[in-house]
Amino acid sequence: MATDLQIAARKVASVNPATGEVLRELECAGEGEVEAAVARARAAQAAWAELGLRRRIAVLREFQGKLYAKKSEVATAITREVGKPVVEALVTEVLVVLDAARFLIDNAWGLLRDEPVPHGNLVTKLKSGWLVREPHGVIGIISPWNYPFSIPATETLAALVAGNAVVLKPSELTPLVALELASLLHAAGVPEDVFQLVVGEGPAGAALLRSPIDKLVFTGSVATGKRIAAAAAERLLPVVLELGGKDPMLVLDDADVDVASSAAVWGAFVNAGQACLSVERCYVHRSLYESFAKACAEKTKQLRVGNGMDSHTDVGPMIQERQVRIVESHVEDAKARGARVLAGGTRLPQLGINFYAPTVLADVTQEMRIMREETFGPVLPVMACADDDEAVRLANDSEYGLAASVWTRDRMRGERLARRIHAGTVMVNDVISCFGISEAPHGGVKASGVGRTHGRFGLDEMVRVKYLDMDRMPGMKKVWWHGYGESFRRQMEGFLDMQFARGWGTRLRGALRAAGVVRRKQL
């Protein structure tokens, strides 16, 4: 284990991926600092929970107002640290968070308040039941760099409104956006100890995982997610894991080629292809294959690649050169195995070391790395398929299961296919936008993760459910308590007959036998 000193001595540098400019250096939190942050969060959480739901909702409303007022500033800060065009930062991050706040402001009361549980069994009719949703306590959040604002913010807002304190470990590549989030939350009235940041690389995340948090919400790669799940299992720490994807797009023979190709291009190249929900595999019916691939290539060639600060830029840089190398290796593997490059296929060194040309590949096969491993970059691989069944089979032939899309003019056919695809979300005639629907749960199946964020299911992850049982007859002994005997056995058989026998005669006889139970002598 690394010592405190080793970790604390490290710094992370926030770098503008478009220019290479170092924006700021920050000290990494050591093990002791992470533990201290969690201890402060624990101490502050009780008062935050006691504040009550209505007042926490009011704080969210305040946060929403402050974010709205600073929308352009926040979007610019995101672009500076991640590279995406400012308008994308505005739409896929700031708007998503404003709307997540709207969802919680409108719905948290209804979704978190105590809920009566009517009892169906006659034996328990004399008791009333309630579901009480309690905060877990301190929630640790570990987040990635690709959506450095919308991912931690949506998770944090749900955790906070439910009465938890939060300690967030943002990606080491995007600490400045996390600082923006912290300053907005604190300005809105969230106490400093109720929302804290711990900055650092993997070891700071591992320290958060080892600290006495009550739940961890992790978003990142499958490899890190598996390490987290193993460590969490050791102490039975509940976790939500939002992991990688290899989302397929199925273009059926009746699809609108113009619309579907525009969707494929946006779905593959938004955020330079660095979205967990990116279109990473495209299966197109043979009859449309050539025209679809050609349309994608033509549209891709029109994309303007550059610094996201320029309002004309469609596609910005990738986050770092290491990520470019992964993309390059996937494209080279595909080319070596016979894929055709219809657009792009190279780095763009004249723009900077992190730029890779939006790339369309045709004639790919299911065995290529580009169709099996998460590429997380600006590549759209297109493959022909024979029919709907083959498209579904290929879509499901993946270790991932985050989202998928089906493209057809026939809604019923689209829905039928959607039901057969193994994924957390399937969109018919759209890509990626499900992430921006605050009511919709977000999460995957298979290696793409465990649990959900967003919407009511995301809010459920932030509470533990306590069942509150209230007996209406405190002066009465329960019939099933001690004082057994042959007649009690017969009475209980009668009681079961009365409730569950198929024939009315048996039910009636059962009721008469069971009635004797009221005269039973009990201890």
The Cα–Cα gap between 221 and 230 comes to 14
Site string for ligand NAD, 11-50 (x = CB under 6 A): ----------------------------------------
Strand partners, 196: 167
Residues with a catalytic annotation lie at: 242, 276
Sole window of 128-136, 202-210, 301-309, 494-502 interacting with ligand NAD (rule: CB under 6 A): 202-210
357-396 footprint of ligand NAD as x/- string (CB under 6 A): -----------------x-x--------------------
Stretch that binds ligand NAD, among 96-104, 199-207, 265-273, 336-344 (CB under 6 A): 199-207
Q: How far is the CB of 200 from ligand NAD (least distance, A)?
A: 7
Whole-angstrom Cα distance, residue 180 to residue 175?
9
| Cα distances (Å, whole numbers) of residue 203 to 7, 137, 155, 363 | 7, 23, 22, 42
Cα dist from 125 to 46, 157, 252, 498, whole Å: 35, 38, 54, 15
Structure tokens at 206: 């591992």
Site membership for ligand NAD, residue 227 (CB under 6 A) = yes
Q: Which two tokens stand for residue 94?
A: 């700031």
The least CB distance from residue 244 to ligand NAD, in Å, is 3
Piece of the chain touching ligand NAD by CB under 6 A; list 154-162, 243-251, 351-359, 488-496 = 243-251
Candidates 163, 205, 306, 358; binder of ligand NAD (CB under 6 A) is 205
Complex with ligand NAD: residue 209 or 297, whichever CB lies closer: 209
Kindly state the number of chain residues that form the binding site for ligand NAD, as judged by CB under 6 A.
31
Query: Cβ 448 to ligand NAD, closest distance in Å?
Result: 6
Query: How far, rounded to the nearest angstrom, does the alpha carbon of residue 243 sit from its chain's CA centroid?
Result: 8
Sign of the C-alpha dihedral computed for residues 458, 459, 465 and 470 taken in this order: negative
Residue, CB closest to ligand NAD: 205
DSSP letter, residue 93: I
Interface with ligand NAD, residue 273, by CB under 6 A: no
CB of 245 to ligand NAD, least distance (A): 5
Contact mark string toward ligand NAD, 430..449, x via CB under 6 A: --------------x----x
Q: Given the DSSP bridges, would you call strands 247-251 and 279-285 parallel, antiparallel or unpaired?
A: parallel
Return the number of the residue (224 or 359) whose C-beta is nearest ligand NAD: 224
Distance (Å, rounded) from C-alpha 446 to C-alpha 335? 29
Could you give the CA distance from residue 279 to residue 314 in angstroms, rounded to a whole number?
Answer: 17
The structure tokens listed for 323 are 């990520």
- Interface with ligand NAD, residue 247, by CB under 6 A: no
Residue of the chain from 16, 146, 398, 425 that contacts ligand NAD (CB under 6 A): 146
**Nearest distance from residue 407's CB to ligand NAD, in Å?**
22
Stretch in the footprint of ligand NAD (CB under 6 A) among 168-176, 351-359, 488-496, 512-520: 168-176
Q: DSSP letters of 229-284?
A: HHHHHHTT--EEEE----EEEEE-TTS-HHHHHHHHHHHHHGGGG--TT-EEEEEE
Cα–Cα distance measured from residue 73 to residue 254, given in angstroms and rounded to the nearest whole number: 44
| Range list of H helices, 302-396 | 321-336, 369-372, 388-396
Answer for which of 245, 358, 377, 378 binds ligand NAD (CB under 6 A) is 245
145 in contact with ligand NAD (CB under 6 A): yes
Cα separation, 367 vs 380, in Å, equals: 16
The binding track of 82-121 with respect to ligand NAD, each residue x by CB under 6 A or -, is ----------------------------------------
Interface residue with ligand NAD among 107, 221, 262, 366 (CB under 6 A) is 221
In sequence order, the β-bridge partners of residue 380 are: 360
User: Which residues have a Cβ under 8 Å from the Cβ of 199 and sit 6 or more positions away?
Assistant: 12, 26, 27, 28, 29, 169, 170, 172, 175, 178
Question: Is 209 among the residues that bind ligand NAD (CB under 6 A)?
Answer: yes
276 binds ligand NAD (CB under 6 A): yes
Question: If you ran DSSP here, which 8-state letter would residue 519 be given?
Answer: G
Question: Which C-beta is closer to ligand NAD: that of 34 or that of 293?
Answer: 34
Tell me which residues touch ligand NAD (CB under 6 A): 142-147, 151, 169, 171-172, 201-202, 205-206, 209, 219-221, 224, 227-228, 242-245, 276, 374, 376, 402, 444, 449
